[in-house]
Amino acid sequence: MKISFSTLGCPEWTVTQGIEVAVSAGYDGIELRFLEGEASLWKLSAFSGAGLKETCRKIDDSGLAICCVDTSCRFDSPQLTERENWIEQGVRMAELAAQLKAPGIRVFGDEIHPGLERGVTRKWIVDSLNLLSEKIEEYGLEVWLETHGDFCCASEVQYILSECPAVRLVWDPAPAFIEYGERPFANGNALWKAVRHVHIKDLRKAADKWVPALTGQGEFPLSEVRGVVELMEYAGFVSFEWEKKWLPEMDPPEIAIPHFANWFRSEWDNLAPARGSDHEGLGVRL
């Protein structure tokens, strides 16, 4: 299994800083999100023209992989023009991802707006995902839907996938656990066949709210995540997600990113691959 980190955790870094830290901390890849405060990476000099060629050279020389390119695309807006705009941004990011040799772009569903029905929003999401998949087919990569927002529980994700045959998943078990009380093993057991990329984070309870914690210092059932990836014989990337962009009070990336790599090397194999006592027998399906 390989490890990476999302640059959501280091949103002001340059790509060169990200590469240097990834190499020094022993990562296998980088998941691109924000860099230099920018989400639309093609706007940065490091990802256009001669700058992109130099960035590709640095990545190749480092031995790292760009394992996923994360977009901000979400397809829940009642405004058709907004959904179309996100599709076009998705195409722009897919063009860049192809040049970086990434296998997929991450997108969201995402939320049901006040006064709207779930079924209507779901149809917008399905239609947008299918259209984006068609538009980026020429680049030879996939659309990866993250399990996030109001469509993160297993049953909702399964329905969307049934209507979107070309779409695969970025599996993040935390949202379904927080919002629906759905255990990581149950959620992952239902979705594993479509998983192409895995997000991992730790959480702790503070004043009846789940908040981020340095990996191994929280209460999130990481052993169940390991149970899923072990049973599915997953050989992709486990990617550390540290939401520094949204929560600036969190520990700085200089601490959190090397910490995860050290934790993974020393503790991951020691986690009992739990399936959860209330999910006994689910592993047979994996």
Q: How many CB atoms lie within 10 A of CB 250?
A: 18
Position 281 confidence tier, pLDDT thresholds 50, 70, 90: very low
Q: Give the separation between CA 189 and CA 231, rounded to whole angstroms.
A: 9
Is the per-residue pLDDT at 2 higher than 70?
Answer: yes
Residue 273 has a pLDDT of: 73
Q: Give the separation between CA 51 and CA 67, rounded to whole angstroms.
A: 20
Q: Give the separation between CA 64 and CA 284, rounded to whole angstroms.
A: 35
Percent of the chain residues past pLDDT 90, beyond the cut? 93
pTM: 0.94
Is the per-residue pLDDT at 278 higher than 70?
Answer: no
Q: Give the model confidence (pLDDT) of 112-125 as tens digits.
A: 999 999 999 999 99
Residue 279 has a pLDDT of: 40
Residue 11 has a pLDDT of: 98
Position 285 confidence tier, pLDDT thresholds 50, 70, 90: very low
Residue 275 has a pLDDT of: 63
Domains detected in the chain:
2-285 (3.20.20.150)
Q: Give the model confidence (pLDDT) of 190-236 as tens digits.
A: 999 999 999 999 999 998 899 999 999 999 999 999 999 999 999 99
Give ∠ CA 208-210-213 in degrees, rounded to 5. 130
Averaged pLDDT score across all residues of the chain: 94
Q: Give the separation between CA 109 and CA 129, rounded to whole angstroms.
A: 9
Q: Give the model confidence (pLDDT) of 169-191 as tens digits.
A: 999 999 999 999 999 999 999 99
Position 50 confidence tier, pLDDT thresholds 50, 70, 90: very high
Is the per-residue pLDDT at 80 higher than 60?
Answer: yes
Q: Give the separation between CA 159 and CA 126, rounded to whole angstroms.
A: 9
Residue 276 has a pLDDT of: 54
Q: How many CB atoms lie within 10 A of CB 154?
A: 18
> Taking a C-beta distance cutoff of 8 angstroms, is the pair 46, 282 a contact?
no
Position 272 confidence tier, pLDDT thresholds 50, 70, 90: confident
For the record, the structure tokens of 207 come out as 């004043």
